[in-house]
């Protein structure tokens, strides 16, 4: 799976974004690129993904700047990249052009961007420095605890493919327990002002398929991320917001489940011609897998770095003792469930606060309508057998400094 860009939000980064947004608006006004009012666009900070210093994304309009550029003394490079992406914005809105074509070059000249009509960075930055800036934040810099969590959860989800049904269910339950425990620890260690929200776009298209809807609901319920469908002009995007380790795991799970759900639908011969059968089948898959994930035992006490169980060899192979021991109705389970709900609500609140300045209204729809018929039952059985395998990540392409 090719790594996608991850957008970053925090109180500090939002101040930087506001400064860059003001600079961009001042440039557009001073060069009279648009008449007032200016078009609506966002300036975002990103990490990872394509080996670029910046890129422009249309609909909704986003000017994306690599995280490494906003730290340290890189003002000249940052100013060049910002103008370059503004030239893309102008070329798209005035001429419908996204590539480095004649319209883009005209706008580069209009904005007085040096270096082969703005397409390159000669005279602004040498290639070694640019590559170093990209490599500095090319990989997601997970904290050690988050790295251990992601590795352990992936290993346990791989064990979920065991032909022994009991062992597979224990492995899946243990993975879910680790994820819950990690988030319970976060609840006591992160203050809202310290929290850095991460976001990644995992899907985009004209039609929001029912499989995308049900998978996003699973991620929101079990993987501690806040999925948000963002409408655009003629398209929609699904973004996941959350803490860095949760995003890392949820992105991987989304890619895997999207592929498996579609393969199972084809194997069962279910299509849109079945009178809404596709929706019912995907709903069955979601409910079957959800029942499996709900078998997670109650998390244990908060772990310390010296715990032997932090080493994969000690705890990544579930045993009978890992089976759920707390009753779903016990006071311990009720307290933990309330804390986990609090974590999910905090992610939603921070998304509203840091990304949308508090203007986001969380709306919970009822989902697509379906009938619990034979197609639903087939999906339910197939969903209960789904196991989540580890995948390969990374991008071995050579670096590019500017978009497209």
136, 164, 186 - which closes a domain: 136
In angstroms, rounded to a whole number, what is the distance separating the alpha carbons of residues 103 and 118?
Answer: 12
Whole-number pLDDT of residue 26: 96
Within a domain: 264: yes
In angstroms, rounded to a whole number, what is the distance separating the alpha carbons of residues 113 and 16?
Answer: 22
Whole-number pLDDT of residue 44: 94
Within a domain: 332: yes
136, 160, 192 - which closes a domain: 136
In angstroms, rounded to a whole number, what is the distance separating the alpha carbons of residues 94 and 96?
Answer: 6
Find the mean pLDDT for residues 252-263: 90
Residue 43, beta-bridge partner list: 63
Which CATH number fits the domain that encloses residue 17?
Answer: 3.30.2010.10
Q: Specify the number of domains making up the chain.
A: 2
Whole-number pLDDT of residue 147: 61
* Residues 177 and 266 occupy one common structural domain: yes
Whole-number pLDDT of residue 335: 60
Least trusted range by pLDDT, from 19-33, 205-219, 308-322: 308-322
Express each pLDDT in 68-101 by its tens digit.
888 767 888 899 899 999 999 999 999 999 999 9
Within a domain: 389: no
In angstroms, rounded to a whole number, what is the distance separating the alpha carbons of residues 324 and 297?
Answer: 4
In angstroms, rounded to a whole number, what is the distance separating the alpha carbons of residues 87 and 92?
Answer: 9
Within a domain: 121: yes
136, 158, 177 - which closes a domain: 136
Query: Strand ranges (DSSP E) for 309-358?
Result: none
Find the mean pLDDT for residues 354-359: 75
Cα angle 386, 244, 312 (rounded to 5 degrees) comes to 60
CB 81 within 8 A of CB 401: no
In angstroms, rounded to a whole number, what is the distance separating the alpha carbons of residues 217 and 364?
Answer: 10
In angstroms, rounded to a whole number, what is the distance separating the alpha carbons of residues 383 and 257?
Answer: 10
Within a domain: 401: no
Instruction: Count CB-CB contacts under 10 A for residue 187.
Output: 12
* Residues 296 and 314 occupy one common structural domain: yes
* Residues 198 and 256 occupy one common structural domain: yes
In angstroms, rounded to a whole number, what is the distance separating the alpha carbons of residues 149 and 97?
Answer: 43
Within a domain: 394: no
Strand order in the sheet with 5-9: 54-57, 62-66, 42-48, 5-9, 197-205, 236-242, 226-231
Express each pLDDT in 134-157 by its tens digit.
666 544 455 566 666 766 766 666
Pairing between β-strand 236-242 and β-strand 197-205 as defined by DSSP bridges: antiparallel
CB 139 within 8 A of CB 48: yes
* Residues 68 and 153 occupy one common structural domain: no
Express each pLDDT in 151-206 by its tens digit.
676 666 666 555 666 666 666 666 767 777 777 676 655 554 456 789 999 998 88
More confident: 393 or 190: 190
Distance, C-alpha 109 to centroid of its chain: 36
* Residues 45 and 112 occupy one common structural domain: yes
Within a domain: 393: no
More confident: 223 or 316: 223
Pairing between β-strand 5-9 and β-strand 42-48 as defined by DSSP bridges: antiparallel
* Residues 188 and 95 occupy one common structural domain: no
More confident: 190 or 29: 29
Whole-number pLDDT of residue 321: 44
Rounded to the nearest integer, the mean pLDDT of the chain is 75
Domain that holds residue 85: 5-136
CB 44 within 8 A of CB 355: no
Express each pLDDT in 267-314 by its tens digit.
999 876 655 689 999 999 999 999 887 765 555 544 444 444 444 444
Whole-number pLDDT of residue 396: 34
pTM: 0.70
Residue 127's nearest CA partner among 392, 401, 335 is 401
* Residues 192 and 254 occupy one common structural domain: yes
Q: How far is CA 332 from CA 4, 111, 301, 338, in A?
A: 39, 62, 11, 10
Within a domain: 391: no
* Residues 122 and 173 occupy one common structural domain: no
Whole-number pLDDT of residue 70: 86
């Amino acid at each position: 799976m090719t790594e996608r860009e991850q957008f970053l939000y925090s109180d500090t980064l939002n101040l930087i974004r506001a400064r860059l947004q003001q600079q961009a608006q001042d440039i557009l006004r001073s060069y009279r690129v648009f008449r007032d009012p200016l078009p609506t666009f966002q300036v975002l900070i990103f990490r990872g993904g394509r080996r670029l210093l910046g890129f422009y994304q249309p609909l909704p309009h986003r000017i994306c700047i690599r995280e490494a550029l906003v730290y340290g003394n890189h003002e000249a490079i940052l100013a060049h990249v910002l103008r370059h992406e503004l030239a893309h914005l102008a070329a798209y809105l005035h001429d419908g052009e996204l590539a480095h074509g004649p319209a883009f070059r005209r706008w580069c000249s209009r904005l007085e961007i040096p270096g082969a009509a703005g397409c390159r960075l000669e005279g602004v930055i040498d290639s070694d420095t640019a590559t170093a800036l990209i490599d500095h934040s090319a990989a997601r810099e997970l904290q050690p605890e988050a790295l251990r969590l992601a590795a352990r959860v992936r290993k346990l989800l791989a064990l979920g493919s065991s032909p022994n049904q009991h062992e597979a269910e224990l492995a899946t339950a243990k993975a879910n327990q680790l994820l819950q425990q990690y988030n319970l620890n976060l609840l006591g260690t992160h203050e809202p002002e310290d929290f850095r929200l991460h976001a990644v776009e995992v899907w985009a298209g004209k039609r929001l398929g029912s499989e995308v809807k049900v998978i996003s609901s699973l991620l929101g319920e079990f993987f501690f991320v806040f999925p948000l469908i963002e409408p655009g002009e003629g398209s929609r995007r699904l973004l996941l917001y959350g803490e860095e380790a949760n995003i890392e795991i949820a992105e991987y799970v989304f890619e895997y489940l999207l592929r498996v759900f579609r393969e199972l639908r084809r194997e069962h011969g279910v299509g849109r011609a079945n009178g809404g059968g596709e929706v019912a089948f995907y709903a069955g898959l979601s409910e079957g897998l959800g029942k499996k994930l709900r078998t997670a035992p109650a998390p244990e006490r908060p772990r310390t770095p010296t715990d032997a169980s932090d080493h994969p060899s000690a705890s990544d192979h579930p045993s009978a003792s890992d089976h759920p021991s707390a009753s779903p109705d016990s006071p311990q389970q009720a307290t933990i469930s309330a804390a986990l709900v609090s974590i999910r609500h905090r992610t939603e609140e921070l998304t509203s606060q840091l990304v949308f300045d508090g203007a986001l209204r969380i709306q919970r729809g009822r989902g697509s309508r379906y009938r619990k018929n034979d197609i639903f039952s087939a999906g339910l059985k197939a969903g209960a057998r789904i196991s989540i395998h580890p995948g390969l990540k990374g991008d071995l392409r050579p670096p590019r400094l500017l978009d497209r």
